[in-house]
Amino acid sequence: MGQAYRGMQSAFSSTVGHALPRWRILLALHECGQCSQKHLAERCRLDPASLTRQLQAMQKLGWIAREVDPQDNRLTNARLTPAGQVVVDEALPRRAAFFEESLKGLSAADIDTLNRVLSVLEANFLRAADKAPQASGRAVPAAPVPAGTFSAGPTARK
């Protein structure tokens, strides 16, 4: 799973021209217009510090603008600038082509099944994270996976 995700990230970046985290932010701002950084972090599933670094870099490029929310000065809103909108408009066709090529050979039923399985996995991972003890700064040894439970790597692809 990790190998497939890393491969997808690399291919996405080289095809679309943006790293996936940056693209998710650009697309979210394109879709929702102006929104708070808090909402953006939740929507893009990024921790607030990572989001802030991405936004600062895009602000330096002139792609986004950030300003304090006039109704709630605890919030900072972000929006695409006209230059940022051009960046998104130019990348959208490359994104569509990327997914069209990536999903070749998969039926609609295959894609529905994949989406369902990934949604279940995500929910399970989030539940596991909620149950996990808070890190103390020391590494905790991982529990061994029972033999035959999961197989990954080259030997699993026979």
The band of 158, judged by pLDDT with boundaries at 50, 70 and 90, is: very low
pLDDT value of residue 153: 42
User: Residue 140 to residues 36, 77, 118, 145, 151: CA-CA distances in angstroms?
Assistant: 36, 38, 27, 15, 23
Higher confidence at residue 135 or residue 140? 135
Task: Give the tokens for residue 21.
Answer: 């985290």
Q: Percentage of the chain with pLDDT > 70? A: 84
pTM: 0.75
User: Would the pLDDT of 141 be above 70?
Assistant: no
| Per-residue pLDDT band at 132 (split at 50, 70, 90) | confident
At 115, give phi and psi (nearest 5°): -60, -40
Q: Please tell me the predicted confidence (pLDDT) of residue 135.
A: 59
- Residue boundaries of the structural domains of the chain: 2-130
Beta bridge partners of 65: 79
Tokens of 70: 């006039």
Class of domain 2-130: mainly alpha
pLDDT band at 133 (very low <50, low <70, confident <90, very high): confident
Banded model confidence at residue 78, pLDDT cuts 50, 70, 90: very high
Which residues, 6+ apart, have CB-to-CB distance to 97 below 8 Å?
15
The span from the CA of 150 to the CA of 137, in Å, is: 28
pLDDT tens by residue, 34-72: 999 999 999 999 999 999 999 999 999 999 999 998 999
More confident residue, 158 or 131: 131
End-to-end CA distance of the chain: 16
